[in-house]
Amino acid sequence: MTSFDNFEFSFLEEGFCARDIIDQKINESTYSDDKDAFYVADLGDVLKKHLRWARVLPRVTPFYAVKCNDSRAVVETLATLGAGFDCASKTEIQLVQSLGVEPSRIIYANPCKQVSQIKYASAHGVQMMTFDSEVELMKVARSHDNAKLVLRIATDDSKAVCRLSVKFGATLKGSRLLLERAKELGLDIIGVSFHVGSGCTDPETYAQAIADARCVFDMGAELGYNMTLLDIGGGFPGSDDSKLKFEEITAVINPALDKYFPVDSGVRIIAEPGRFYVASAYMLAVNIIAKKVNMKEQSGSDDEDDGTNDRTLMYYVNDGVYGSFNCILFDHAHVTPIVHKKPKPDERMYPCSIWGPTCDGLDRIVELCTLPDRQVGDWLLFENMGAYTVAASSTFNGFQKPDIYYVMSRSAWQCMQQIHAHGMPALVEEQSPGNMPGHCGRESTLELPAKSCAARVL
Ligand SMILES: Cc1ncc(COP(=O)(O)O)c(C=O)c1O
């Protein structure tokens, strides 16, 4: 059983959305000096992703990759919805288990683990774990009483934004040797996993990896293993402005699964989505704390010019690459600022750069963008900031991490409670409330209209 006792969230009133809460908080700060950066995170968006997943990948059970965003609110939302969890460490296992998630809903998906953490998993009933080397097999044989091992294979992730197979994954040839060694050690190998790289841009990588996994299942069968688990990893986009749409990927995955792992094969299929679940749920508001106006070198401009054409602006804001924008360094992210105070139709725009608050020259958020002239105290907003942001941010130079305000609509809350009580319905259709308990079918395509007035938060 899970509860929402450990974090606070506010209900969104009917017709209001997360952006309204941003506006409300900014309005509240107007006459105050307290203009710290903050997030608004819509847990209803996480629910929408869960419904979308069930609709388009019905054969695949999601095990959320906690590393992507380990906020208790996100993990608890997904625990309530019945998702499984991909944990990379003892601390992530502790977090998930502290919410009452049973060990069978956890995969310890780190192929290179510290021995003490393998022992922790063993003592706490976590059996499923990945490996990709002989040394790991020997460690597990010594340190875990009853491991159910999943062999991670390498993929061609050359077209992914963040490559993972440079570090993890056995080749097909290496897989045979590992299966043989595991047999000698008397270890139980229950399946195969892969990761196509985070920010995958080529769906065919999944199809190839699924075909390769089939080869490894067949090798396993030759050695007497009856493998029953396929784990197709992560790599799914977190927002609809990504180059490759989620549905374009699933249109390749589903037929590949049906070809290589048909329903009657009896193989259970799971995945480890991270970014998919959380990226679009988070919006970040940062405040302009300093500003410089630079004059470009004169280039013989005409007499009419009042000089503003030659200006470039440098904005300094109160979160940077050592904080939430670590995604620029670690996740190769490109972020786009939105001015909170809308520009007038004829307002002049300037070439601008945006910098974080620390004393490091590396702390640059945007090298060049076009923005209107804004003042110290004005706000910039960044959408899609939920993935690989808060999870890896630091307080370098003493700058504190932004507060996160969680919100959810009442219908999303009700839908979550119903899924928690009755499970996911067999069919999650896009526009068919009848197939979902309560409001859930409608929720799956729910787009709340943005209102300009302040939302009432309970
Ligand atoms: C083993 C593993 N699984 C899942 C993920 C999540 O990937 P994504 O956020 O691309 O879905 C990662 C990300 O690094 C990972 O290393």
CB distance 233 to ligand 1 below 6 Å = yes
| Residue 247: per-residue pLDDT | 97
Q: Is a pLDDT exceeding 50 seen at residue 148? A: yes
Residue 306: pLDDT band (50, 70, 90) is low
Reading the block at residue 362, the tokens are 């590396």
Nearest to 46 by CA among 275, 250, 254: 275
> Candidates 64, 198, 201, 327: which one to mutate for ligand 1, based on the most atoms within 8 Å of Cβ?
198
Mean pLDDT of 144-160: 94
Predicted pLDDT of residue 307: 61
* Spatial CA neighbour of 315 closest among 389, 274, 368, 256: 368
* Mean pLDDT in residue range 409-427: 90
pLDDT-based confidence at 425, cuts 50/70/90?
confident
Q: Report phi then psi at 454, rounded to 5.
A: -70, 140
| Helices 72-80 & 410-422 angle (0-180, nearest 10) | 50
Q: What is the mean pLDDT of residues 228-241?
A: 96
- Check pocket membership of 242 for ligand 1, CB cut-off 6 A: no
CA of 195 to the centre of ligand 1 (A): 7
pLDDT band at 433 (very low <50, low <70, confident <90, very high): very low
Asked if 56 and 236 count as a contact pair (C-beta separation under 8 A), the reply is no
Q: 234 CB contacts (<8 Å, ≥6 apart)?
A: 65, 68, 86, 195, 198, 271, 272, 273, 274, 275, 276
Secondary structure, 3-state, 373-439: CCCCCCEEEECCCCCCCHHHCCCHHHCCCCEEEEEEEHHHHHHHHHHHHHCCCCCCCCCCHHHCCCC
Higher-confidence residue of 431 and 129: namely 129
- Please report which helix (H) or strand (E) contains residue 85, including its range: strand 84-87
How confident is the model over 268-280, as a mean pLDDT?
98
- Distance from the CA of 373 to the center of ligand 1, in angstroms? 39
**Other beta carbons less than 10 A from residue 364's beta carbon:** 16
Nearest-10 Cα torsion for 445, 447, 448, 449 = -150
For the four alpha carbons of 329, 250, 243 and 430, in that order, the dihedral sign comes to: negative
Share of the chain above pLDDT 90, in %: 82
pLDDT, tens only, 204-233:
999 999 999 999 999 999 999 999 999 999
CA 267 to chain centroid: 26
Asked if residue 67 lies in contact with residue 45, where contact means CB atoms within 8 angstroms, the answer is no
Query: Active-site residue numbers?
Result: 359
Least confident span in 122-136, 153-167, 292-306: 292-306
Question: How confident is the model over 371-389, as a mean pLDDT?
Answer: 98
How far is the centre of ligand 1, averaged over its atoms, from the C-alpha of 35 (Å)?
A: 34
311: β partners = 295
Q: Which atom of ligand 1 is nearest to the CA of 234?
A: 11
Angle subtended at Cα 1 by Cα 130 and Cα 275, rounded to the nearest 5 degrees = 45
Tell whether ligand 1 has an atom less than 6 A from the beta carbon of residue 86: yes
Report which ligand 1 atom has the smallest distance to the Cα of 110.
1
Average pLDDT over all residues of the chain: 91
Residue 304 pLDDT level (bands cut at 50, 70, 90): low
Cα separations in angstroms, 248 against 201, 259, 267, 280, 327: 10, 18, 24, 18, 25
* Averaged pLDDT, 286-314: 79
Distance CA(302)–CA(284), nearest Å, equals 41
Residue nearest to ligand 1 atom 1, measured at CA = 109
Confidence of residue 160 (pLDDT cuts 50, 70, 90): confident
Ligand 1, atom nearest to 199 Cα: 10
Q: In this predicted structure, what is the pLDDT of residue 438?
A: 43
Task: State mean pLDDT over 434-443.
Answer: 42
> What is the total residue count of the chain?
458
Q: How confident is the model at residue 447 (pLDDT cuts 50, 70, 90)?
A: very low
Task: Compute the chain's Rg from CA coordinates.
Answer: 24
Sign of CA dihedral 405, 406, 411, 413: negative
pLDDT value for 452: 28
Mutate to test the pocket of ligand 1, among 195, 202, 270, 332 (most ligand atoms within 8 A of CB): 195
**CB distance 274 to ligand 1 below 6 Å:** yes
User: Is ligand 1 within 6 A of the CB of residue 49?
Assistant: no
Q: Whose CA is nearest to atom 13 of ligand 1?
A: 198
443 CA distance to ligand 1 middle (Å): 27
Average pLDDT over residues 23-32: 95
Our answer on whether the CB atom of 323 is closer than 6 Å to any ligand 1 atom is no
CA quadruple 204, 208, 211, 213: dihedral sign: negative
Mean pLDDT of 367-396: 97
C-alpha–C-alpha distance, residues 364 and 232, integer Å: 35
